[in-house]
Structure 1
């Protein structure tokens, strides 16, 4: 098959008539082209073009070919994109674009998707400290791209609005147009992501100029990267704002062709390299990064710092992934306890420095407590963070009902010792958590009266789901001594027709992950099974168990330094229910209005089964 033909465009700035007139002309004379990818600000920078945008979204104007954009900011952006976000066809996890109208798609947040055989990665929005719902990227978006960078396969195109801040280093800039070296419109975070993703093409806008950099080689990869900066549509200097490429997808290229390096290939602008002093002959370490003081925050595996691994700073690579390619040579700390705290939703900045610049705007956990219904990495949180108290800067637990920021709209039923709440970012409808009222680390440590009420809730939910033709799976994480989390028991319904498949899915997933469950058979009474689980949990290691519809309990004790999938239970059930894109709760977030409506609907249906009534 012939390689796809792609048009690339810089900042549109709401000038859709001019853009699509030019696209139609190019498509007629040099086409046909398959898609248009837009970077930089897509929406208008003045109110006088709002009607122009409306003509394409609501009526009579048409878009000549599939168009994807990431510059989700500018006048009119919030109104238009908010409507699109609530469209039922755009709900759920959609990395390939939310449909705005025919042939127009918004690449929201960050992600990777296939397009005409090409692998496309993108970071939507721009860098900003403002807490805005759209138009800026957040830590979640960065983390998602970092995870994608570790997946197998080569990214063909990487789309960002802003330029990487070090792109000119080691390149011959004699022919670069004015404005290229201006730091405005550049972002060091983009540099670090580009260094990790290693795309074949990196496309950016925002700077207001066209610039095609010499290709550069990538550390740890055989292929080169070509960077293209595009000018705005209709710019006064008549710089190039449309550029055509026809890349063969890396997945279909012969290895010899993929390895080819043009004669003008330079070293990567993001690499720390050695340079010999001509006067002394000594070897110096030089860095091209303009953000050395903050580089550790994003990826310390590719950067050197003075001192050794006993210093105060944590290795982000190890903390986030459980491994670091530099191993004992890494100059940052590899701390197991910090990793576990991070995996439970802890803010890396807070863990690492004891403070977070985002403050109350940060949606990660600040402090040691509170694994809530909506945490950013493993589970959901029921409340936000609160002010730090005493020298340790601890914050109120997200699950404790006394928290001033508790998201009470998610609570379904409150008993004397336990309560039920809807999970934030639910895997499926009626995804429920059973939570002790008192702060305790796990449900196996409950007092007898609380244990009794827990069983009443479990029994009520089982009957409730059975009435709907569903069974229920319970699972829980228990964390080792010293991590004072607030217990929560996940309750996820599955169709009765799939109930008999749950066990095989868990066991197969365990096998693929390199471990084996201990099985407690359903012939035992529930209380006896729980007592057996208590005997297996020694508080020296983390512990996972799942209670299956027929009563079988699967359990596993996680050894220190063992890489265990932190969302294991949810991932298994997402696979069973054929919704793999919902395995990460962040892909399933809803508005507060939708959450409230779901909770009220559940309470009405659950009322006759509620043990507190």
Structure 2
């Protein structure tokens, strides 16, 4: 992992003391570097900025690539480029209003510039900006874990709450918006300035927020950095040596620290305060969202009866008799089950084994359906073996209406530590995958009416977990697309892998031909 590490420097408000900053950075870079870059939070410019002229002319050199946040007051706006150019001088760049800086090794740094306000301006950011920053972080990243660093000039409100240290600081410019971002993005480090003091908070873990929150329960460390060359000699420059979180093992990211505290931020209160979100807790760290819910009379709330949800089988994608089923994906049909290409497959030979009739899960289907599924499983094992591959089968009885057993082939050498990888990834989501003992049956440890997830490994090991609360819908795919197995992390979400209908037809026709020698549904096979 050493070659993946990134060495970066972070500093607080520069306020025009450019010589002090760059001289110190140059010294540290020669002594302890080389460092990849420097990030500045707070006010880069101050009342007197004459020292910067020498750097703009090229008389003096900025020692390493330096990235700064935008202005925090109206007077500084004129000191930033008016056009889209981000370069203030050689080796000094403005990051802009908000965004995600990702370096060549995958280190992700999210940032938002300015002072919080109801409306966004050249030196102010709003709730819309933080929401758009969050969306930029998760967009196209179905297995989003969190970010390595979050930069905000402002401190988050309540940063010192629950801290084990005895801290008594006068903090004036805090905002709820960075607090909300911390809980949503779960940065490993959050760096702020503007307050003129150095403060290193005890680490904490923000809670998981529900079904759509794929972040890990990472430790966050908040740092408030002092002003450059301050007379109190408080720390204003900080060095980090980080391996990007996407390159780290789950166990390393979840490692406990001795001085952890309770999370200082209450997400439910923040979300309601910032976005006027009505939110009902439904168990530990699980929520229903309604951003436009009208206020209800209390009497009416208790008189309302929840309508029973009626299942419309005609709209089931997987019932063979349904007009909604995509029949062009079907490879072959047996008496009670069928084999189909998975929609948005991880790899070309990613199949679904499904019952023809409507059963919600494997534990609720008749024995003859299960036996026929086992025949398909054995046929697929032989089919994959022709190319030196082995099968991973998994079922998710959670937010599905029709039973689907998914089959994904992997190389035999990728089975090394496969059980440990599944168990470790599950722990990263707060789940416990257990091994089914050889003397037990699945229906002895799970019930059909209880949500569950199972995965059968190539060596026959069956792992299972009862789902209580939240479960990442793409969990199995996220594990299989990882580097040690299939090494195609961009394919973790089926929606990002959908083929055109004509391409699906061509692929299925080829799969039918290739699978035919192994197809037990053929007479005389």
TM-score (norm 2): 0.49
TM-score (norm 1): 0.43
- Which protein has greater RCO, CA pairs closer than 8 Å, 6+ apart? 2
